[in-house]
Amino acid sequence: MPVITSIDDLKRLYKSRAPKMFYDYCESGSWTEQTFRENTSDFDKIRLRQRVAVDMSNRTTETEMIGEKVAMPVALAPVGMTGMQHADGEILAAKAAEKFGVPFTLSTMSICSIEDVAEHTTKPFWFQLYTMKDEDFVRRLVDRAKAANCSALVITLDLQILGQRHKDLKNGLSAPPKLTPAVIADLATRWRWGMGMMQTKRREFRNIVGHVKGISDPSSLMAWTGENFDLTLDWDKVAKLKEMWGGKVILKGILDAEDAKMALKVGADAIIVSNHGGRQLDGALSSIRVLPEILDAVGDQVEVHLDSGIRSGQDVLKAVAMGAKGTYIGRAFIYGLGAMGEAGVTRALEVIHKELDVSMALCGKRDIKDVDRDVLLVPEDFGGRWQG
């Protein structure tokens, strides 16, 4: 087993093991990828303030997200097609998250179904909902998540229409992949991936196939999904979805203080400051850059979480120090999964946890709940002077 010391190590191994089509799907942003790049480069601009001669014994990273105890303020973000990065990917990631003590969020666009994940886990996970035009389908999806005992509904608000990722079009992204000569040549070098896929029956979008009328060819489903997102989604509909669910609701994809106030109005239990990992509006600001403004607007009234660009425990520390109550990792856990399956997701969580714990200590803090702006050095112009 290779020695893995960083998320970057997992990424390199993932690149060598997963089919190119799925690596590219993960490792891309929309259009020029400006927002995708700035999600990580903006974290680098913030520095940590070293303190010395402070007792650093008895440290803890334990805290709560929406009232649930977490080993550290990091959840696994919903990632579509996780089961194409590694056979049974969603089940494996959910198991790793459960053992580590952090929340797992299952995407509507997962390969393993809600029921598959529920069957292989013992603690409630979170379910992410994309709203589709077919209201019956949405209702049934919500009912299935309730039946599976999911403890939160994460409603994604920033994807009714797809940001374009050039590589996905060029690669002919589909699940399962269409066996063109280029794909066959690529798969010939990814034997681990192929062996895993041959041994599982979970190779299509199992939350959807068999649950929507008129889909017989699973490979046509990407097109179906693209055409069936509900373009009319508005705050009234969000409020209705909240009512339909009846439990905790997290609104994902908030990047503007005005929208954060609307989220508050509809009674969200938490919001996720997110630009979908730079996959939707290219040219949008990075999540970490807009976080302070959103915290100023609603931070004392609703739990504010953040994702997009987190690749290390230092990044988690920076987001928490700014005021986020929780963070999510998308690509960082996918790198682990694609590299080494469940063990890889566990390794990704261990790497981030150690980085968080040690960096927190070196900033003179022992309890993640005591971490605040005091540990940060933020450039004066970090927020920027943007004119609306």
Ligand X SMILES: Cc1cc2nc3c(=O)[nH]c(=O)nc-3n(C[C@H](O)[C@H](O)[C@H](O)COP(=O)(O)O)c2cc1C
Residues forming the site for ligand X (CB under 6 A): 25-26, 39, 77-80, 107, 109, 128, 156, 252, 274, 276-277, 279, 307-310, 329-332
Q: Which is nearer to ligand X, 26 or 254 (CB)?
A: 26
Which residue in 240, 310, 248, 292 sits closest to 7, CA to CA? 310
Q: Which is nearer to ligand X, 299 or 309 (CB)?
A: 309
Total number of residues shown for the chain: 388
Query: Is the peptide bond preceding residue 78 cis, with omega within 30 degrees of 0?
Result: no
86 is catalytic: no
Burial track 298-313 (b if 16+ CB lie within 10 A, e otherwise):
bbeebbbbbbbbbbbb
Which residue in 88, 200, 89, 106 sits closest to 150, CA to CA? 106
* Closest distance to ligand X from the beta carbon of 7 (Å): 10
- Distant-in-sequence, close-in-space partners of 150: CB < 8 Å, separation ≥ 6: 106, 114, 124, 125, 126, 127, 247
Residue in 86, 276, 305, 353 annotated catalytic: 276
* Closest distance to ligand X from the beta carbon of 370 (Å): 25
Q: What are phi and psi of 28, to 5 degrees?
A: -130, 155
Q: Which is nearer to ligand X, 254 or 365 (CB)?
A: 254
Asked if 102 contacts 70 with a C-beta cutoff of 8 angstroms, the reply is yes
Partners of 63 in the β-ladder: 70
Asked if 345 contacts 351 with a C-beta cutoff of 8 angstroms, the reply is no
Give the DSSP letter of residue 205: -
Q: Which residue has its beta carbon closest to ligand X?
A: 330
* Closest distance to ligand X from the beta carbon of 222 (Å): 12
* Closest distance to ligand X from the beta carbon of 276 (Å): 5
Q: Which is nearer to ligand X, 158 or 342 (CB)?
A: 158
Instruction: Concatenate the DSSP letters of all residues of 349-363 into one string.
Output: HHHHHHHHHHHHHHT
* Closest distance to ligand X from the beta carbon of 57 (Å): 32
Q: Which is nearer to ligand X, 208 or 371 (CB)?
A: 208
Which residue in 218, 141, 207, 140 sits closest to 178, CA to CA? 218
* Catalytic residue annotation: 276
